[in-house]
Structure 1
């Protein structure tokens, strides 16, 4: 298996690349900034359609895992995803595209795999546009909707540490379904080898607020929970979806990888 991981310098992309290599696969990883240690790494600007096409044509992968995004950049998140999908389709490569629960608007009931996007802010709209492009270009692609990604080196865990030290605030009114980075990477690699097409929620079973996640991090690492700084998105004026629970029942029945809940992951 020869796989191209687009965005291999990112948190998830780097783990996908390393775990693919551990399976004995031939792995090529791309980066725009940062480093991709111990891999055949190529610098790539996903907003440059010609460059994306040229690299994919050169590598000739059996599969492409598309993970790049930039929170505040539509061209990277949406246009870049489309460029990767076009290039993968041109060489007949299997495509697994990483999407996000950010494209949902928030509600008390869980979102199913095929629920239509209802974005309420720019990043969510960009992820929704990326999905639309990918599915139109390659109906056989697997499109993975995931949630907060946790694990060693996770930005989410660092944000919790910062809030426990009073350097940041965690919202009590934002609920997500965190997933371990290795669980997610293994699920992605299962999809690379399979034929599943369409949308698939791949997230943890526990719905927790960001503030509750901070308390779990405090307990796990022996930090003082009394120092946890909290607020609400409403009070701060941040426009983001509030309650976003992903129902990952379909993934649990389809995949061998067990998606562990954050309470289990951070248990002392």
Structure 2
């Protein structure tokens, strides 16, 4: 990795990689990249996740310390700490559920559930602050082109449950949202936080890009 960075000598590196709960990839990989970036003098934007939080306090701004409750969250939290330790001028950008133009895992799941080709439910008690991929990309480019450093939050400005998000996706895509099954994550065996709401207002004040909420970016086209 160090050899590649030295040869390319990039001005900015944006790290959006993740290996799930694989510690070597998700926790250690970003730190090695940060070391290489610091040595070459490259800016580093490291994309992290709201999975670093437990949901115990629900609302989380950039000053909140990670308290993960899953292996993936622990790996992302470790990466944040390591990245900022070896590259103090790096940006750690935490985000939430990323929604695209029909291509995200969340959108595909809604289509499959509505079509009856997938089993499962959309939780009504699992709440996040979804962000549109275009808003996220633009915000990351702004952070990359400036001199920001440290922790930044890039979540949408509206909290939605997985089911509420699914209904908005279904209506945008002209699907029957009544076919989307509901359930409670609290009643399931799935690990992880229930209600994690990234407070992105401090970061938003520094950006030209507006981090829209789901009701806005999922409004059906006329």
In 2: Cα distance, 1:164 partner to 1:83 partner? 42
Q: Secondary structure at the match of 1:145?
A: strand
TM-fit CA distance, 1:163 = 2.5
Aligned counterpart, 2:114: 164
In 2: Cα distance, 1:117 partner to 1:59 partner? 33
Task: State yes or no: 1:235 paired with 2:184.
Answer: no
Contact 2:186 2:194 in 1 (8 A): no
Aligned length: 217
Q: Which residues in structure 2 correspond to 1:93-104 (within 5 Å)?
A: 93-104=42-53
TM-fit CA distance, 1:114 = 1.7
Aligned counterpart, 1:155: 105
Query: Could you give the per-residue CA deviations for residues 90-141 of structure 1, whole angstroms, max 9, x where no partner exists?
Result: 1000111100000000045410112000101100000000001001011111
In 1: Cα distance, 2:153 partner to 2:91 partner? 11
TM-fit CA distance, 1:260 = 0.9
Query: Could you give the per-residue CA deviations for residues 159-197 of structure 1, whole angstroms, max 9, x where no partner exists?
Result: 222222341321111100000111101111111111111
In 2: Cα distance, 1:240 partner to 1:155 partner? 18
Contact 1:160 1:213 in 2 (8 A): no
Q: Secondary structure at the match of 1:254?
A: coil
TM-score, length-scaled by structure 2: 0.94
- Of residues 102-111 and 148-157 in structure 1, the stretch that sits farther from structure 2 once superposed is 102-111
Contact 1:233 1:240 in 2 (8 A): no
Aligned counterpart, 2:5: 56
In 2: Cα distance, 1:162 partner to 1:104 partner? 29
TM-fit CA distance, 1:219 = 1.1
TM-score, length-scaled by structure 1: 0.79
**Tell me, which stretches of 5 or more residues in structure 2 are unaligned?**
none
In 2: Cα distance, 1:226 partner to 1:188 partner? 36
Contact 1:146 1:202 in 2 (8 A): yes
In 1: Cα distance, 2:58 partner to 2:72 partner? 22
**Tell me, which stretches of 5 or more residues in structure 1 are unaligned?**
1-51
Aligned counterpart, 2:204: 252
Q: Which residues in structure 2 correspond to 1:158-197 (within 5 Å)?
A: 158-166=108-116, 167=118, 168-197=120-149
**What CA RMSD, in Å, does the superposition of the two structures yield over aligned residues?**
1.1
In 2: Cα distance, 1:109 partner to 1:231 partner? 20
